[in-house]
Chain A
């Protein structure tokens, strides 16, 4: 089983739609979780950390489900500029992160 698994997509949604991505992880000892955004041929950029209680940043909401070992990212009111690949990232040891292969989102007019 891969350490971090994501649906590669693409998820094709119209502007204004709500879309959600899930990501599963295999290491039950993981304590830190993140979502990064990566535009085509660019570096990943930290979108948000995922806390046990869940967290929200504007149109973005991240949730953690430790029992089922998955994290989710919800994007409300999608914008064209949200089109990107979203990387699920999980720590698997001291200072060590594992990156998922990403879920591609395409928002159309």
Chain B
């Protein structure tokens, strides 16, 4: 089955620790995206990548880092510099030139 997978579904970390969220897709999509969603707020774009080995900052990139070494994979690292990391993190992908984005099931990160 084609789709986007994110792991883990739930993640708990202590303050001061970096954590990496996984996102993999087998849809052969060129573009991939990371969003975070907080209660009562719309999705906010963290980073996006249109092609392997290239990525751009979104609206709230501070405290996050990404890599795009393979077309299928776009991991997100939440660093200790991110002030409010507890959120629902969603990865999405789209074909080149299309605005239709398809989402993975998300990772709920809780940092205490």
Contact = CB atoms under 8 A, between A and B. Distances in A.
Interface of A: 4, 32, 34, 41-46, 49, 87, 91, 95-102
B99 A99 contact: no
Interface of B: 31, 35, 40-43, 45, 48, 50, 58, 88, 90, 94, 99-106, 108
Closest CB pairs A-B (n = 3) = A43-B103, A99-B42, A32-B99
Given A43-B90, A44-B90, A98 B42 contact: yes
A43 B100 contact: no
Given A42-B106, A43-B90, A43-B106, A97 B40 contact: no
Contacts of A32: 99
Contacts of A98: 42
Given A43-B90, A95-B31, A101 B105 contact: no
Contact of A44 (B31, B43, B94): B43
Contacts of A4: 42
Contacts, number: 44
Contacts of B94: 95
B100 A34 contact: yes
12 contacts: A34-B100, A42-B105, A43-B104, A44-B103, A46-B100, A46-B101, A95-B94, A96-B58, A97-B45, A98-B42, A99-B42, A99-B43
Given A87-B42, A95-B50, A49 B100 contact: yes
Contacts of A102: 42
Nearest to A96: B45
B93 to A, nearest CB: 11
Contacts of B35: 99
Given A95-B48, A101-B40, A101-B42, A43 B99 contact: no
Nearest to A44: B103
Nearest to A91: B99
B41 A101 contact: yes
